[in-house]
Structure 1
Amino acid sequence: MSKERLYEKLKDFEKASSRLNEAVNLDAENDIIVDGVIQRFEFTFELSWKLMKIFLEYTGISDIRSPRGAIREAFSYGLIKDGESWIDMLIDRNKTSHIYDEEEARLIYEKITKTYNKLLLDFSRLMDEKIKEI
């Protein structure tokens, strides 16, 4: 993997993270906003763990086969600070594919707006710094 490809993946993630942040700041007065935030969260989370994986592979860590493995290695490497919250985010991301319960969707929406969005934005800033260093 080239450094240029790593930058491309970072830019894709930054764009998704920015769009999620934009959606999180909208007033959730109707369900379509909640649905949109959850969908943007799903997409942004997928890009985050794939960026972790690609970055770690670039640095020589190549035995990552799953989002959980990427999170574990990213935590060990220092790319993320709160491994438990990232695992919670993974669990909630997996739930979003099968949410039929409006109450559970609202609970996940609250976690996205109160916790996950900040974790993703922090990861974006840190990855930008780390990639510039290599």
Structure 2
Amino acid sequence: MRERVEKFFNDFAKAFENLKKATEVAKDDLDIDGTIKRFELCYELAWKLMKEYLADLGIIVKSPREAFKQAFINDLIENEEVWLKMIEDRNLLVHTYTHEQSRDIFHRIKDEHVGELGEFYKSIQQKIENDEF
């Protein structure tokens, strides 16, 4: 199972770096739309990484909401509310995509979500390096 955690971590790490870069350089609609797609990928990989890590601890989760709640309880994330907002933002992007909403969400991605994803990256990296699972 640890191999799966490490694989998900490697995929998440690449996606996170790509998202960070995208938020730093996005200037026009094409850049912003690309950043939003990178966020969606990063979000999916983050929750699947959490799911695998928690499964290694014997905690089975079946949804992002459950994963984020358990990740908070198990000290993988610090701000559960931001993660729950990510669920809302991701769902809005996928199901009711409007230009105005997407730009509002882009600013949340840039101002809040990237920082929280970065904190998760550091937390899970440290746990993997210290073999804490």
Whether the TM-score (by the shorter chain) exceeds 0.5 is yes
The equivalences for 1:1-134 within 5 A come to: 1=1, 3-28=2-27, 30-62=28-60, 64-134=61-131
Task: Provide structure 2 residue ranges, at least 5 long, that are not aligned to the other structure.
Answer: none
Deviation at 1:85, TM superposition (A): 0.8
Distance in 1 between residues matched to 2:95 and 2:34, nearest whole Å: 15
Q: Counterpart of 1:112 in structure 2: which amino acid?
A: I
Task: Provide structure 1 residue ranges, at least 5 long, that are not aligned to the other structure.
Answer: none
Q: Higher mean Cα deviation, 93-102 or 82-91?
A: 93-102
Deviation at 1:117, TM superposition (A): 0.6
Give the share of equivalent positions with the same residue, in percent: 38
User: Of the two structures, which has the highest relative contact order with CA contacts closer than 8 Å and spacing of 6 or more?
Assistant: 1
Deviation at 1:32, TM superposition (A): 0.5
Q: List structure 1 segments (4+ residues) > 6 angstroms apart after TM superposition.
A: none
TM-score (norm 2): 0.94
Deviation at 1:4, TM superposition (A): 2.2
RMSD: 1.0
